[in-house]
Amino acid sequence: MQTVETISALRALVARARSEQKKVALVPTMGNLHDGHIALIHCARQRADFVVASIFVNPLQFGANEDLANYPRTPDADREKLVNAGCDVLFAPAVEQIYPDGMLNQAIVNVPQVSEGLCGSARPGHFDGMATVVIKLLNIVQPDVAVFGEKDYQQLAVVRSMVKGLNMLTDIVGAPTIRAADGLALSSRNGYLSEQQRRIAPVLYASLKEMAASIRELHRVDESLLQACRQRMIDAGVNVDYFEIRNAQDLAPAREGAAHLVLLVAARIGTTRLIDNLTVDLR
Ligand code: PAF
């Protein structure tokens, strides 16, 4: 695996792969790689001959009071994991490479509707910053396929909407969430949890599963169970930001009779904000 830090070096490698008729995949990440990221690389490998992973902790998608400075950075371990996963190129640019004119002078991509509400309310500007760096990475690599984790469900919906709305050609693929044995979705932010907080964290997935089972059985949302699930998380010591049921495609509020739903949760345990989701297909 080659590691490159500049856009020009990366473009040269991708151009060579293209001249060999290789299909190119991109897996954008912020590093601190875990098995969830490695599953994205495997997914990309299945769909392409040349896999580029990027590691860039994007300052533009962090709010002023968020964890940018403390975001875990583990470059050596990440490199080794990518080599073992069969990644071809690691693109690890510095901030100046991505924002040479500074972030204030950067053209920003705003994706309306899907980026509003849910995490969009709790993290103002987050999805603009995320969409902006993703479009830059897609324009730099021009991959046939780009793979994103379904754990960040709203992020994936924003990327899909951006790619469709801006007539981009990359095929956006969502890869299933990887979970710990007790159900907790793998996330770089799990590392912030104390032992005791880690023990309560699986209540998020347990609540999603219970609610999903009820919707499957009743074909409707049992509001009192929804409230009971929220209460169970609160009782466990979790600060629930949202626990909601939306239309799986566009994240609009779920309408009566809708067949494809997604349950989404975001919650803080101490200062750590975790998200998770579960789709329910009633067709
Ligand atoms: O999901 C992430 O790690 C980031 O939001 C992404 C897609 C790499 C953009 O910075």
| 24 shares its domain with 136 | yes
Please give the pLDDT value at position 255. 84
Domain presence at residue 99: yes
| 157 shares its domain with 260 | no
Q: What are phi and psi of 235, to 5 degrees?
A: -60, -30
Domain presence at residue 60: yes
Please give the pLDDT value at position 283. 87
Please answer whether residues 113 and 250 qualify as being in contact, where contact means their C-beta atoms are separated by less than 8 angstroms: yes
126 is catalytic: no
| 97 shares its domain with 166 | yes
CATH number for the domain harbouring residue 129? 3.40.50.620
Domain count, the chain: 2
Please give the pLDDT value at position 103. 97
| 40 shares its domain with 153 | yes
CA of 129 to the centre of ligand 1 (A): 10
Q: Left (φ > 0), alpha (ψ -120 to 50) or beta: where does 93 sit?
A: beta
What distance in Å separates the CA atoms of residue 116 and residue 186, rounded to the nearest whole number?
25
Measure Cα distances from 181 to 149, 186, 279 in Å: 18, 10, 20
Residue to mutate (ligand 1; options 133, 173, 186; most atoms within 8 A of CB):
133
CATH number for the domain harbouring residue 205? 3.30.1300.10
| 233 shares its domain with 100 | no
> Which of 144, 175, 206 is the last residue before a domain boundary?
175
* Domain enclosing residue 232, as ranges: 188-277
Residue to mutate (ligand 1; options 26, 29, 108, 190; most atoms within 8 A of CB):
29
Domain presence at residue 33: yes
| 135 shares its domain with 84 | yes
Give me the residues of the chain with pLDDT under 70, please: none
Please give the pLDDT value at position 38. 98
| 29 shares its domain with 136 | yes
> Which of 175, 204, 233 is the last residue before a domain boundary?
175
Domain presence at residue 156: yes
Please give the pLDDT value at position 179. 98
Nearest CA to ligand 1 atom 2: 29
C-alpha closest to that of 23 among 146, 136, 193? 146
What distance in Å separates the CA atoms of residue 165 and residue 89, rounded to the nearest whole number?
29
CA of 267 to the centre of ligand 1 (A): 19
